[in-house]
Structures are given as structure tokens and as C-alpha cells.
Structure 1
Amino acid sequence: MSYRVEWTAFLRERYEREELHFKVFDNYIPDYKKTLLTTKFYSKYENQNTGCEADPTVMQNIQRVKYDTPREKYAWPITENQCYGWFPEPLVSLDRNDTRFHHPKKSTDFVKHELRLQMDESTFPKVKFTGIPFKVQ
């Protein structure tokens, strides 16, 4: 019984809050003198030149939000994922001629093994396969 009373009190409070803060519009009247930010490609009236121009600061802000990369928007990375590659320059310059820090592999074990196999096969003469020999009685 108390559950039902609490639930109705909750619904009443929610209804009163919605009535206080929300206003429902039944009629919508478009303002044709304003420039729209989003266009409707199928509208024949939208592409006509009405003579009014959009506010350049608003358009500039939209362009900045839409096309700027995070590095252009922020001075430091916001998320942990942005930390990777945020500073592309290495902290210590790498000298490729100094073999203490730079010693790339000349070849891999797989390539060495393949080269050995090819060398072994090239020393033996290749015999054309004529089929499995069998003895007829």
C-alpha cells in the first residue's frame, strides 16, 4: 500500500515540475528572414538568394568547431588517448650513425632460413617427376 502512495506522489511531483519548467508549443512559425545553418537540399526556396548573410563570427565558430583538430583546439591533450602522438618530436635526437643507440637488424631469421633453403636446392639437380614407379608382375 505504501509503495503505491509513494509512486503516485512521485508522479505528481514530476508532473508539477514539467508543468513549471516545460512549455509545449502547438504552433511553429518559421522565420524566413533568418539564414539557416542547415540546409534542405530538396527545398526549392532554400537555394534562392534572399540577400541576407549569416553572421561571420558564428560561421567562423562553426568552421572552427567542425574542422579543427584537437591539437589546434587545445594546448595539451584532453584524453589519455590523445597523449600518444601529441608531441611528435623525440625528446632526445637520434643519430643514425651512432651504433650504441641505433642498431637495426640487417635481416631476420626467416629470411636467413629461406636463403639457406634456396641455396641447398640450387646445388642439387632438379629431376622431373615422371610418376610413381611400380613393378608389374
Structure 2
Amino acid sequence: MDIILLQHLRPTGLLLPFMRTTGLLGTDFHTITKKPMSWHDNIEEPADAKFLNLIHHAALEPTKKYSEPQTESQEIGWNTTPLIHVDRTDCRLYFPRRRTEITK
């Protein structure tokens, strides 16, 4: 009975935090967008350097974040440097595309 009554009440004041923590409010949250011409929504705040560094570090690719692979899947392709230098004049290892009469 209490749950049914709480769901039909308008969540205001002290009841709203209680309903959020107990899960009685559900997942139907609607966010209110900011107003573009409002003075308090357009206040410039100083950027937090520690937070920005954390965000930039999270956006890096794994090879720049870690010194070694963290998972088995990352081991494939972790080392991207070629084992030998490619010599374009050596026809044993370099096969360029060639144009012939048939492929024109």
C-alpha cells in the first residue's frame, strides 16, 4: 500500500531524495535544458586543470596510456613498428601495383 501511495504523490521537498535513494521514483527522469539567455547558465567558470588532464588522458589510445597491453586482445597489433625497413628498390619484398593492357 505504501508504495502505491508514494508513486501517486507529487515528489517535492523531503520526499524526493527519499524516493531516489529507495528506488521508488523509478527511472523516468526528465532533465530541463538550460536557457541560452539566462545569466546564471552563462557564467564563465575557471577550468579545472586536473579534471581536464583526466579527460584528455582517458581519450588517448591504449598504446599512449599504458606501457604494455592490458588485455589479451590488445596484444594483437600492440607493436606497430615494422621489424625491418622496407626497401622500395628490392623486388623480393616490395610488390607495387602495375598497369597492364588488360587492367586499363
Q: TM-score scaled to structure 2, two decimals?
A: 0.44
The structure whose RCO (Cα within 8 Å, separation 6+) is larger is: 2
Q: Of the two, which has the highest radius of gyration? A: 1
The structure carrying a bigger helix percent of its residues is 1
Q: TM-score scaled to structure 1, two decimals?
A: 0.36
